[in-house]
A and B are shown apart, each in its own frame.
Chain A
Amino acid sequence: QITLKESGPTLVKPTQTLTLTCTFSGFSLSSNGLGVAWIRQPPGQALEWLAVSYWDDDNRYSPSLKSRLTITKDTSKDQVVLTMTNMDPVDTATYYCALALAASSPYFDFWGQGMLVTVSS
């Protein structure tokens, strides 16, 4: 059974750095073709892909947020960590991690429940 779960702070102040951890089970991030991605959804808005870390150490980022994002994986702990710098109230959103299948058009097979992160002073 594949599960993913997001953890981290639910409230951050503007200009702070957000660190989110995705802890997963049921698959290995050493397996060919797999990755873990981060996706967010601001209240009342659409989903937005942020970043993905693949089995082969290839990391990809949303071009619009690339300068603020870092994604890392710890295969031994079955965790993927996303950091986002210089948080702003517009970054208030539900943040999801998901199992990504590598392809020319990658897709997200299983998702975590998500966690709401609020940016406010």
Chain B
Amino acid sequence: QSVLTQPPSVSGAPGQSVTISCTGSSSNIGAAYHVHWYQHIPGTAPKLLIYANTHRPSGVPDRFSGSKSGTSASLAITGLQAEDEADYYCQSFDSSLSTMLFGGGTKLTVL
């Protein structure tokens, strides 16, 4: 059981939008530690999608956006494309555990 909780799977048709949640607690997301998001296509290197809650690295399409509120964060993907099919992970820091944490991951299926 991950300290950062993500839904195991989400799905959507091409062109639709999906949101992936990441729920933490008062010692990580709720303590104002930034949340970061990664896209991982199995067999390839994970890719940074969002850093510091809402910021997109250069080259990441604006179809991807991040938000944070209270003890949770979300990754929104609009205009779904087949190439978006991947595993998505949130990541933050936990002050009680004194460690960097990843969520359990969410598998996005593009129908």
Contact = CB atoms under 8 A, between A and B. Distances in A.
Given A107-B34, A108-B38, 18 more contacts: A46-B89, A47-B46, A47-B89, A47-B105, A63-B97, A63-B98, A103-B34, A105-B33, A105-B36, A105-B52, A105-B93, A106-B93, A107-B48, A107-B91, A109-B48, A109-B57, A111-B47, A113-B45
Interface in A87-105: 96, 98, 101, 103-105
B63 to A, nearest CB: 20
Interface string B17-29: 0000000000000
Contacts of B98: 63
A14 interface: no
A50 to B, nearest CB: 10
Nearest to B91: A107
B1 to A, nearest CB: 11
A53 B36 CA distance: 19
Please tell me the size bucket of the interface on B: 20 to 34
Nearest to A51: B100
Interface of A: 39, 46-49, 52, 62-64, 96, 98, 101, 103-114
B35 interface: yes
Contacts of B103: 46
